[in-house]
Amino acid sequence: MGLEMNHESKSENLSCAIRGGKSLSVLAAALLATLVASGTAVAEQSPSRPGGPAAPASESETQTHPAEPASLRTKESLPRISKFEARQFRHACQERANERGLKGGDRESFLTRCFFGRRAQKGVRRECKKQGAAKGLDKTALRDFVRECVREQRNR
């Protein structure tokens, strides 16, 4: 794919890049990435005025609307888990899929539902545990409280 570069003028360099095809697309991608990165950096640096028109827009963006489906509110419903916990969830779900003999698309959809279901369950347990700790329950009472709370959340 030899590019013949003639450095006599900028227009000739551009025509060489156009003939190369891939060189121009790489150049365009690099330029686009630079523009996007600089645009976000400028947006992060510029302070918004408290009384200006930008303030109400940012307030409305940060509010969560109760009509939104749960899938759009992933940060609230799905807790952060460690790599170890993710591995445990993944292996447990794979074992269940193997027991059922699932293959192909059915297996993939089952694994996805299983993994995120376990992750959401962990979030519910964590919230229930926080509620129990706020009530000042001891270890055994806290365990019973968490079980009841999770059961109630599941029945809603």
Average pLDDT on 57-75 reads: 44
80: which DSSP letter? -
Q: Who contacts 119 (Cβ-Cβ below 8 Å, separation ≥6)?
A: 78, 79, 81, 89
- CA–CA separation, 24 and 30 (whole Å): 10
pLDDT of residue 147: 93
Average pLDDT on 72-92 reads: 77
pLDDT of residue 69: 43
What is the three-state SS of 13-25?
HHHHHHHHCHHHH
* Local confidence band at 156 (pLDDT 50, 70, 90 cut-offs): confident
pLDDT of residue 14: 44
pLDDT digits (tens, 9 = 90+) for 97-151: 999 999 999 999 999 999 999 888 888 999 999 999 999 999 999 999 999 999 9
pLDDT of residue 18: 46
pLDDT digits (tens, 9 = 90+) for 19-45: 555 555 555 565 556 665 655 444 445
pLDDT of residue 27: 54
Average pLDDT on 11-18 reads: 47
